[in-house]
Structure 1
């Protein structure tokens, strides 16, 4: 799916489910990893995660578009458009949009570079960053920490 096909799909979904036209631009953003889409308040355009344009994610894409269009139409109507607000939750439920973006494996896992162990209770603390063992102690028993393994 390309930019023009996505624009047409968003306009169709807007008319079908919201009964209001979508008069702004939809952009494909391939840099997104944790979000399905984003609505911009200043110029009213919508970014859609390019990874969801694949045919196997079609139902997820429609849910994401409905979610972003909910932000769009509520904002333009002057109503509360944030996730926590009742107007947003009600309209999203009415049109059948997705509340959360499904995880399709784009998130990077953080590698635990350091492994610390308490000298007294032997509880292990995996950490991404280095810990000052002179300053910090075990949260369970208050014992000293020692560096067991470093993966860097």
Structure 2
């Protein structure tokens, strides 16, 4: 799914359900690994400088259109409530009620599908995967304080 398609679906959804248009850009991020999507508000001091909806490239590449649209609509609800001056955070009752009314999934509904990187502790042989590369350069094992080594890349398709 490309950027224009995402923008078209988001604008249609917002017009139909909130009577507002898509007033923020949508960006597809190749760097976003820990989240599937986000409505971001960027501040400089106390002033809002930029708002945007960001969707993970890996998420788009490895998921169905239905799942992608569900996450996009979730982020659109964040934006719509923010634009109307209503509580828009995941834990806010207004936000949760809006998701329920529209039949949209809550946060952390979908498991990560995509590229992961395998690591192993050199000392205690503890194995695990992370969605980021370079983990072994920044962290040590919490079990034995040993160093990690990079094993390789894998693709998960849960």
Return the TM-score normalized by structure 1. 0.68
Q: Shift of residue 41 of structure 1?
A: 1.9
In structure 1, the partner of 2:123 is: 114
Matches of 2:99 and 2:123, distance apart in 1: 43
Question: Contact between 1:81 and 1:88, CA under 8 Å: does it hold in 2?
Answer: yes
User: How many Å separate the matches in 1 of 2:58 and 2:68?
Assistant: 9
Cα distance change on mapping 1:79 and 1:104 into 2, 3 Å: same
Match of 1:64 in 2: 71
Q: Please, which runs of 5 or more residues in structure 1 have no aligned partner?
A: 117-125, 133-146
Between Structure 1 and Structure 2, which shows a larger proportion of strand residues? 2
Structure 1 segment 4-83 matched on structure 2, within 5 A = 4-42=4-42, 43-54=50-61, 56-83=63-90
Equivalent position of 1:120 in the other structure: none
How large is the RMSD of aligned CA atoms in angstroms?
Answer: 2.9
- Deviation string 1:48-101 (CA, Å, 9 cap, x unpaired) is 112333485211111101110111011111111111110111111111222124
- Structure number with greater Rg is 1
TM-score under structure 2 length normalisation: 0.66
> Partner residue of 1:121?
none
Aligned residues: 127
1:92 aligns with 2:77: no
Q: Runs (4+) of structure 1 moved beyond 6 Å? A: none
Range 9-18 or range 40-49, more displaced: 9-18
| Other structure's SS at 1:48 match | strand
